[in-house]
């Protein structure tokens, strides 16, 4: 699911959509609303409210364009991960994080993945390519 926020840059409000590439890295998309940040508080509140509406419309449009499709599954069809279970992928991801994060952070990840996540997803046998947002929710 695509999310977004309203940000201020160069005196204008922007809708910032949180898009992700096939590797799960966030790639924000900045969309100008054309609304100025005003010095008058009343006008500024109105512009901010309008910017929020524009952001909500852009998020809705982006989610509809993705058509509920799993962004990961599109990039995995021909990869080595296409037959991998989600729980096994999480263990591989954890292994790859061991030198990327501080030891306490790694221990926290390890407890969550090897505890609840792995125990929940292993019996379900959900492949990474078939994973849906509702499975995680």
- What are the DSSP calls for 24-70, one per residue? S-EEEEEEEEEEE--SSHHHHHHHHHHHHHHHHHHHHHHHHHHTT--
Using the 8-state DSSP alphabet, how is residue 116 labeled? I
Given a cut of 70, whether residue 11 has pLDDT beyond it is yes
CB atoms within 10 A of CB 72: 20
Give the per-residue pLDDT at 74: 53
- Please name the residues in contact with 37: beta carbons below 8 A apart, sequence gap of 6 or more: 8, 11, 12, 13, 44, 47
Confidence of residue 58 (pLDDT cuts 50, 70, 90): confident
| pTM of model > 0.75 | no
Is 80 exceeded by the pLDDT of residue 53?
yes
Lookup: tokens for 127: 């492949």
pLDDT band at 70 (very low <50, low <70, confident <90, very high): very low
Q: How many angstroms separate the CA atoms of 103 and 93, rounded? A: 15
Q: Is 51 exposed, middle or buried (0-12, 13-18, 19+ CB in 10 A)?
A: buried
């Amino acid at each position: 699911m695509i999310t977004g926020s309203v940000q201020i840059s160069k005196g204008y409000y922007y809708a910032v959509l949180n898009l992700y590439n096939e590797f799960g890295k966030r790639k924000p998309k900045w969309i100008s609303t054309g609304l100025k940040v005003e010095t008058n508080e009343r006008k500024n509140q109105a512009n901010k409210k309008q910017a929020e509406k524009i952001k909500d419309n852009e998020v809705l449009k982006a989610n509809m364009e993705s058509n509920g499709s799993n962004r990961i599954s599109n990039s995995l069809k021909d990869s080595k991960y296409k037959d991998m279970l989600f729980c096994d992928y999480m263990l591989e991801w954890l292994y790859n994080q061991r030198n990327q994060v501080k030891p306490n952070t790694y221990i926290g990840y390890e407890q969550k993945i090897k505890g609840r996540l792995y125990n929940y997803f292993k019996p379900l046998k959900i492949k990474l390519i078939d994973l849906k947002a509702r499975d995680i929710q």
